[in-house]
Amino acid sequence: MENVPPELQQGLRSMGLLAPDTFARGQPLAGGVSSDIWHIALPDGREACIKRALPKLKVAADWRAPIVRNRYEARWLARAAEAAPGSVPMLLGQDEASGTLAMEWLPPDRHPVWKARLHDGIADAAFAGDVGRRMARIHAYAAERPELASDFPTDSLFHAIRLEPYLIATARVHQDLAPKLVALAARTAATKLTMVHGDVSPKNILVGPEGPIFLDAECAWWGDPAFDLAFCLNHLLLKCLWTPRAAIGFLQCFEVLATAYLASVAWEAPATLEARAASLLPGLLLARVDGKSPVEYLTEESDKARVRRVARHLVKCPPDRLRTIRAAWGEEVGA
């Protein structure tokens, strides 16, 4: 382990996790583009995960976001822990001045990242169903408590780190689809129903001993739960190109996750939510090759062309059921 940077040390002191005359040591963790993340050891022997939001994200495009987003991540973690105990790491503290947040450390040997398991071709449909159910439980809890909306005044932040870099940036590349992509962004921005995570991706989900654990709610927002559903399902489509031998299993995960989630929707008509998710998903699919945050594992132009072929058609002719997307993608990848 090495010395933790001074700004993180100060954040730990401000959170009351580190005495003024002591120092933490740690190890930087890879994988994030929006934060510096460290595994740290405190002088009293406790371990923690600490992250500091970056003003400029670590991507090729000029993508900036306010570091105050850690404030809302902390609020999301606290509420999600109430909604679905065990589904998030325990929040240890948050310091707005330094943009740092501390959580319990979850050992990787007992909490592998779902993305890594998918890369290995492990298509666990039962786990995918648990992801859908826990996501819906969190959405349902907040939807029943509309007063929580005031805890997430993050419309401009969500636009800056989700709607603009995904849908609006993609509209600039595919100008013939721009009216439809911009309309999707506008509809999403205007739909205010519950507390949204904003980055429900396999890289942000741990396979815990008791089920899925959600991480990295920097995009937390009061808005459209269909965004979380579509965002997560999108990754199961893309993984079919990353690990082709598991494509059939990944599409089964897609079906099971969607079914489990929709079966738990009670705050609105499930078919209404599904229609929003189904029409949004193709725009998000296209964004992962032509937006500001392309997935790092699609490097072959032939794979990008496959995404564009399916996504463009579905943006032009928006589906209202998720099975339509599953069928179109399954035909494309032979699954």
What confidence score (pLDDT) does residue 48 get?
A: 94
CA distances from 73 to 159, 201, 217, 219, 286 (A): 16, 15, 5, 7, 27
What confidence score (pLDDT) does residue 62 get?
A: 46
The CATH architecture assigned to 114-333 reads Alpha-Beta Complex (3.90)
Which pLDDT tens digit goes with each residue over 32-58?
Answer: 656 788 999 988 888 999 988 775 554
The segments of the chain whose pLDDT lies below 50 read 58-63
Which pLDDT tens digit goes with each residue over 222-268?
Answer: 999 999 999 999 999 999 999 999 999 999 999 999 999 999 999 99
Task: Compute the mean pLDDT over every residue in the chain, rounded to the nearest whole number.
Answer: 93
Q: Is 124 exposed, middle or buried (0-12, 13-18, 19+ CB in 10 A)?
A: middle
Output the 3-class SS for the chain: CEECCHHHHHHHHHCCCCCCCCCCEEEEECCCCCEEEEEEECCCCCEEEEEEECCECCCCCCCECCCCHHHHHHHHHHHHHHHCCCCCCCEEEEECCCCEEEEECCCCCCCCEHHHHHHCCCCCHHHHHHHHHHHHHHHHHHHCCHHHHHHCCCHHHHHHHHHHHHHHHHHHHCHHHHHHHHHHHHHHHHCCCEEECCCCCHHHEEEECCEEEECCCCCCEEECHHHHHHHHHHHHHHHHHHCHHHHHHHHHHHHHHHHHHHHCCCCCCHHHHHHHHHHHHHHHHHHHHHCCCCCCCCCCHHHHHHHHHHHHHHHHCCCCCHHHHHHHHHHHHCC
CATH number of 2-104: 3.30.200.20
**What proportions of the chain, in percent to the nearest 5, are helix, strand and coil?**
55, 15, 30
Domain ranges of the chain: 2-104, 114-333
Q: What percent of the chain has pLDDT over 70?
A: 94
What confidence score (pLDDT) does residue 99 get?
A: 80
What confidence score (pLDDT) does residue 65 get?
A: 54
